[in-house]
């Protein structure tokens, strides 16, 4: 029987509390991404996010309580955990876009042999070009493949 | 649901909210991720009542996440790929939450490795800390897991105290060691190596890459373990605490980090007796 990752995945014991807390709140997510790789004073944040100032301040304090944001000398920046969290969330969005860009392709092909690593790095295919054979160029994909194999250092 | 109208941040965020906001919906999605099911099958596997199942399945169908073929419900392939990513992100978030106090005492915002965009493999790891009664607890781990390993990849921030003991073990066994060291440590290591008295020939291969800029982390990966250490916010390496995992996924993740680090280091120096 062929190995299928999806048969084995078990997330049933995992709690979703913090994930929901972050991902289902537009303003908290906006703040995390807005502060990624930078520090800002409150006025800068207010001017960049299209949200009510009182909501921004309340959400910032919530994120500070959750140890994801730090305030120092009137500047806000991500904590170490906030930084890693933002990196991981950005990757999710990149993966989502990649999956969506090639929705029809994925739907028409088996994904049962995909590894978890491939699925988690699927964003690398976001800008991939789909090459398909047709009735006129029946062997197109094979020809391109062989050309690349024979000239690995040259781009086509 | 999918297709190009969702290729922007706000819409993706709304979809994530739809998928994760309800525990019942998550149970159903998890059930279908493992295999297609009838309504009865979903009820048996999740324990949810039929009304809740019907409502959620109907919502999932209308948004295109689930398709009904002869009364068997399937996740679309794109849904499976998306959900797998969400579930792994959840693991990463849970790890960060559980370890927030420790991680926030360490400088991680300068770490830009691609591997860190998915830290779910660390979910299985254990934090080991030295104590006043065992101040060398973490240092001893490197010896415990290094001895007897056939292959070691390591990014090491300090000169191991009993280096000759390490050399003896390496040369009595056929091992392949790749080290990435800071300049000062690299020089000291090579000097110790050149001063070491070899009793016999060995098939071991030891290669050293020197990194001119400071290290950002400490990493020790063998076929059986990954040990990971960080620098504190004051810039000093925290030798008193490391994460350790023996899970295959964590070990492979550690090897990915090592490969990324190799690209920013100098060329290898291959050490010979």
For the A1-121 domain, the top CATH level (class) is: mainly alpha
Are the beta carbons of A23 and B109 separated by less than 8 Å? no
Task: Decide if B239 contacts B229 (C-beta within 8 A).
Answer: yes
Question: Residue B112: its pLDDT value, please?
Answer: 78
Give Dmax (Cα) for chain A.
67
Q: According to the model, what pLDDT value does residue B225 have?
A: 95
- Facing A22 at nearest CB: one of B30, B87, B93: B93
Helix (H) or strand (E) holding B227: strand B226-230
CA A147 to chain centre: 33
Centroid of chain to Cα B72: 37
Q: Give percent of chain A above pLDDT 90.
A: 50
Q: In the predicted model, is pLDDT for residue B1 greater than 70? A: no
User: How many Å apart are CA A111 and CA A9, to the nearest integer?
Assistant: 14
**Rounded distance, CA B249 to CA A145, Å?**
31
Q: Please report, to the nearest 10 degrees, the dihedral formed by the alpha carbons of residues A37, A42, A46, A48 taken in order.
A: -30
Q: Confirm if B244 and B126 have CB atoms less than 8 A apart.
A: yes
Residue A128: DSSP 8-state: P
pLDDT given at position A153: 67
Residues B23 and B27: their CA atoms lie apart, in Å, by 6
pLDDT above 90: residue B37? yes
Q: Which residue reads 């250092």 in tokens? A: A153
User: What average pLDDT does this structure show over A85-114?
Assistant: 91
Evaluate whether B253 touches B123 at the Cβ level (below 8 Å).
no
ipTM attached to this prediction: 0.88
Query: Which tokens in the block code for residue B193?
Result: 């190596």
Give per-residue pLDDT as tens, B144-189. Answer: 888 778 899 999 888 877 788 888 888 777 889 999 998 888 888 8
Q: What is the pTM of this model?
A: 0.89
Q: In this structure, what DSSP letter does residue B134 have?
A: B
> Based on the number of CB atoms within 10 Å of its own CB, is A54 exposed (0-12), middle (13-18) or buried (19 or more)?
exposed
* Chain A residues touching residue B76 (CB < 8 angstroms): 107
Q: Which pLDDT band, with edges at 50, 70 and 90, does B272 fall under?
A: low
Contacts of A15 in chain B (CB under 8 A): 94
Task: Name which of A6-10, A100-104, B148-152, B244-248 the model is least confident about.
Answer: A6-10
Between CA B188 and CA B88 the distance in angstroms is 41
Chain A residues with CB-CB distance to B120 below 8 A: 120
Instruction: Reduce the DSSP state of residue B151 to 3 states and report it.
Output: strand
Helix/strand/coil for B178: strand
> Taking CB atoms and an 8 Å limit, are B30 and A11 in contact across chains?
yes
Compare all CA atoms of chain A with the CA of B94 and give the residue at the minimum distance: A18
- Cβ–Cβ gap B77/A9 under 8 Å: no
Length of chain A equals: 156
pLDDT tens sequence across B50-108 = 999 999 999 999 999 999 999 999 999 999 999 999 999 999 999 999 999 999 999 99
- Residues above pLDDT 90, as percent of chain B: 57
Chain A CB contacts of B108 under 8 Å are 80-81, 83-84
pLDDT of B166: 80
Residue of B nearest to A5 (CA): B34
Asked if residue A86 has pLDDT above 50, the reply is: yes
Whether B205 shows a pLDDT value over 80: the answer reads: yes
CB contact under 8 Å between B109 and A103, yes or no, is: no
Reported as a single tens digit per residue, the pLDDT across B256-271 is 999 988 887 777 777 7
Helices (H), B122-245: 137-146, 163-172, 183-195
Residue A81 has pLDDT above 80, yes or no: yes
Domain spans of chain A, in order of start:
1-121
- Closest C-alpha among B2, B30, B248 to residue A6: B30
Q: Look at residue A56 and tell me whether its pLDDT is greater than 90.
A: yes
What is the token pair recorded at B269?
């120096």
Contact, B126 vs B243, CB < 8 A?
Answer: yes
- Residue carrying structure tokens 């090491």: B156
Using pLDDT thresholds of 50, 70 and 90, give the confidence band for residue B19.
Answer: very high
Band of residue B3 on the pLDDT scale cut at 50, 70, 90: very low
Q: Which of B23, B46, B24 is nearest to B34 (CA)?
A: B46
Question: How does the average pLDDT of chain B come out, rounded?
Answer: 88
């Amino acid at each position: 029987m062929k190995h299928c990752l999806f048969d084995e995945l078990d997330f049933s014991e995992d709690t979703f509390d913090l994930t929901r807390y972050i991902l289902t709140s537009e303003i908290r997510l906006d703040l995390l991404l807005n502060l990624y790789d930078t520090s800002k004073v409150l006025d800068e944040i207010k001017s960049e996010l299209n949200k009510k100032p009182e909501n921004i301040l309340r959400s910032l304090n919530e994120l500070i309580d959750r140890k994801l944001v730090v305030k120092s000398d009137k500047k806000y920046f991500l904590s170490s955990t906030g930084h890693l969290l933002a990196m991981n969330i950005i990757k999710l969005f990149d993966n989502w876009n990649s999956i969506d860009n090639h929705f029809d392709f994925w739907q028409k092909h088996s994904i049962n042999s995909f590894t978890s690593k491939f699925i988690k790095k699927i964003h690398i295919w976001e800008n991939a070009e789909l090459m398909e054979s047709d009735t006129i160029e029946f062997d197109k994909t094979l020809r391109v493949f062989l050309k690349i194999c024979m000239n690995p250092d040259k781009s086509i | 649901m999918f297709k190009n109208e969702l290729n922007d941040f706000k819409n993706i965020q709304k979809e994530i909210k739809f998928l994760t906001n309800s525990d019942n919906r998550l149970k159903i999605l998890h059930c279908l991720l493992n295999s297609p099911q009838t309504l009865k099958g979903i009820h048996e596997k999740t324990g949810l009542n039929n009304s809740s199942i019907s409502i959620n399945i109907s919502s999932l169908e209308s948004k295109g996440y689930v398709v009904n073929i002869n009364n068997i419900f399937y996740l679309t392939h794109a849904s499976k790929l998306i959900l797998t990513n969400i579930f792994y992100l959840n693991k990463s978030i849970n790890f960060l939450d559980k370890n927030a106090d420790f991680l926030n005492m360490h400088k991680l915002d300068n770490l830009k490795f691609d591997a860190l965009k998915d830290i779910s493999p660390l979910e299985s790891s254990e934090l080991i800390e030295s104590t006043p009664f065992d101040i060398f607890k973490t240092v001893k781990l490197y010896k415990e897991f290094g001895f007897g390993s056939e292959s070691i990849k390591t990014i090491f921030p300090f000169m191991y105290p009993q280096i000759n003991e390490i050399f003896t073990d390496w040369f009595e066994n056929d091992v392949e060691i790749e080290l990435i060291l800071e300049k000062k440590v690299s020089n000291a290591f090579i000097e110790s190596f050149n001063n070491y008295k070899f009793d016999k020939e060995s098939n071991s291969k030891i290669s050293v890459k020197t990194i001119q800029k400071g290290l950002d982390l400490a990493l020790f990966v063998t076929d059986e373990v990954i040990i990971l250490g960080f620098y504190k916010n004051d810039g000093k390496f925290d030798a008193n605490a490391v994460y350790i995992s023996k899970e295959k996924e964590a070990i492979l993740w550690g090897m990915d980090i090592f490969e990324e680090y190799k690209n920013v280091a100098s060329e290898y120096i291959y050490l010979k007796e």
